[in-house]
Structure 1
Amino acid sequence: MNDQKKTQITADMTLLDIVSEYPATEAVLKSYDVQAGECICCQMLFESIRQVAEHYHLDLNDLLRKLNSAAAT
């Protein structure tokens, strides 16, 4: 039996929910601030990852992969 918690950040989760539950994901979001031209967490905290990706023209699948990887550490 696997006791390890399975991390699953989905496109419909808000930034607030993600960084609250998985603090390591904040660094991933910060890494996109230059590309976005502003602090993503400051501007989109209550929006879903899907909305963030659409707003800043980010690759949603790549963003989710990076967030899930950071959350698993």
Structure 2
Amino acid sequence: MGAPDLIKERRITPEMTVLDVVARYPGTESVFKNFDEQAGVCICCQSLFETLRDVSKKYDIDLDQLMTELETRMNGIQERI
């Protein structure tokens, strides 16, 4: 077993901004849209430069749920580098 087998690194982290995520994984914008009603605003419009952690606190969104939905949506999306 090599080091990559022992440590599975997340490609999306709570410290990334909304812009970081949608720029790298364009299909994830739909995940943010799904949370717009709960937030009461368009997250991509109002919080583009905020971290996912800050967005979850600001709009009372469960961070684990947001991360899981982003990771799920991201699977199958080609990363833009």
Aligned residue for 2:20, secondary structure, equals helix
Identity %: 47
Q: CA RMSD in A?
A: 1.2
Pairing 1:25–2:28 present:
yes
Q: TM-score, normalised to structure 2's length?
A: 0.79
Task: State yes or no: 1:59 paired with 2:59.
Answer: no
Aligned length: 68
**Correspondence for 2:13:** 10
Structure 2 residues without counterparts, runs of 5 or longer: 1-8, 77-81
TM-superposed CA distance for 1:21, in Å, is 0.4
Q: Which of the pair has more CA radius of gyration? A: 2
- TM-score, reference length from structure 1: 0.88
SS at match of 2:26: coil
Aligned-partner Cα distance in 2 for 1:68–1:25: 9
Gapped runs of 5+ residues in structure 1? Answer: 1-5
1:14-38 deviations in whole A, cap 9, x for unaligned? 0001000001110000001111111
